[in-house]
Amino acid sequence: MATRKPLVVGNWKMNLDHREATYFVQKLAWLLRDAHFDYDDCDIALLPPFTSIRSVQVLVDADKLNIRYGAQTVSVTAQGAFTGDVSADMLSALGCTYVLVGHSERRRYYADDDALLVDQVRAVLAAGMTPILCVGEGYEERREGIELDYAVGQVDDITRDLSEEDAAKLIVAYEPVWAIGTGLVATPQSAQDAAAAIRQHFTHIYSAETAQKIRILYGGSVTASNATLLMNEAHDMDGFLVGGASLQAEEFASIIRLTL
Ligand code: PEP
């Protein structure tokens, strides 16, 4: 039987500067305290832009908040003449726990390809952090009815050469591209089907024991209005990767509470 702890991750994308991040974290902590939130029941994480990570860290450390944080992408090189890049060790030194790998916006706007994503997963793991690997089909694949094969294929493309020990540390976010930022949400059944297919893949490649350890999130227009239905009916899903709805502390706190 799986004993995976639910996880709710807020992907702020290129929103909330360091002052807004400070205000957000203070408010979120207050809302969760006010709701007598039991931090042992759910993991919470924020993925700010690079420039806001330190502000989140300062508050989390000062108030001993049980909120984790991380980054939205990472360099695959350790250091040196790579203008604009931020290394995995730099993120780890800031206390980051998670790094997104392969978000559809990165794949689309920056042409992050499989070879890069494989190296990112390795860099994140080597720095002692957890990659959150994003996969999911677009409109085309869904129309053709190949969405499960497509998402599982993306997982395989990036994780094929990972040892079982490393694979067990992964988090996968199933995010159908047509659902990201559109207000369109996967049905609980299709979120469940995708999560089950991804877990089945890990069972096949590694073992049932390892597959049961891997947390699988759903992402794509999650809000406080649809979180309960998705969580109750998609049993292989362990929480959410939230974009737009993670920018308002009230709504994000509601999603966290509804995930329990
Ligand atoms: C995302 O950016 O990963 C995401 C799921 O965005 P949204 O919740 O806004 O659809």
CB 67 within 8 A of CB 256: no
Report whether pLDDT(1) > 60: no
pLDDT score, position 44: 98
221 within ligand 1 shell (Cβ under 6 A): yes
242 within ligand 1 shell (Cβ under 6 A): yes
pLDDT score, position 218: 97
**In the chain, domain spans:** 7-259
Atom of ligand 1 nearest to the CA of 180: 10
Residues 6+ apart with CB under 8 A from 239: 6, 7, 8, 9, 42, 43, 215, 217, 218, 231, 259
Superfamily grouping for domain 7-259? Aldolase class I (3.20.20.70)
Ligand 1 pocket test: pick from 241, 246, 254, 259 the residue with the most ligand atoms within 8 Å of its Cβ. 241
157-211 pLDDT per residue, tens? 999 999 999 999 999 999 999 999 999 999 999 999 999 999 999 999 999 999 9
> How far, in Å, from the CA of 164 to the mean position of ligand 1?
29
Rounded to two decimals, the pTM is 0.97
Task: Give this complex's ipTM.
Answer: 0.98
37-71 pLDDT per residue, tens? 888 899 999 999 999 999 999 999 999 999 999 99
Query: Looking only at Cα atoms, what is the longest distance across the chain?
Result: 51
Nearest protein Cα to ligand 1, atom 1: 243
96 within ligand 1 shell (Cβ under 6 A): no
